[in-house]
Amino acid sequence: MEKMRGNPSDRLSSIRVYEKMPVESLNVLLKQLEKEKRSLESQVKEYAFRLEQESKAYHRTNNERRSYIAEMTQELIHSWLQ
């Protein structure tokens, strides 16, 4: 499959290889590619889910950090004014 992106003459030779393959072999290859596609789609969904969870955790922690800094600043100002 990687050969399909290179030299046009290489692509033609790749196509010829597939043309010479028996139908049963092509069907087996097709099933393997479909299985790999499903696996990759599943991985993409999992990574998207993880990224979303990490993003939420980051924003939650960042908001807590900001609140903490604001609270500490208020305490510092209050102690200076006394």
d(CA 58, CA 73): 22
Sign of CA pseudo-dihedral 32, 38, 44, 46: negative
| pLDDT of 50 | 98
pLDDT for 82 equals: 80
Q: 35-60 burial, b for 16+ CB within 10 Å, e for fewer? A: eeeeeeeeeeeeeeeeeeeeeeeeee
The predicted model gives 8-28 an average pLDDT of 89
Instruction: Specify the residue for token string 């960042």.
Output: 62
Which pTM value belongs to this model?
Answer: 0.62
**pLDDT range class, residue 22, cuts 50, 70, 90:** very high
Average pLDDT of the chain to the nearest whole number: 91
pLDDT of residue 13: 86
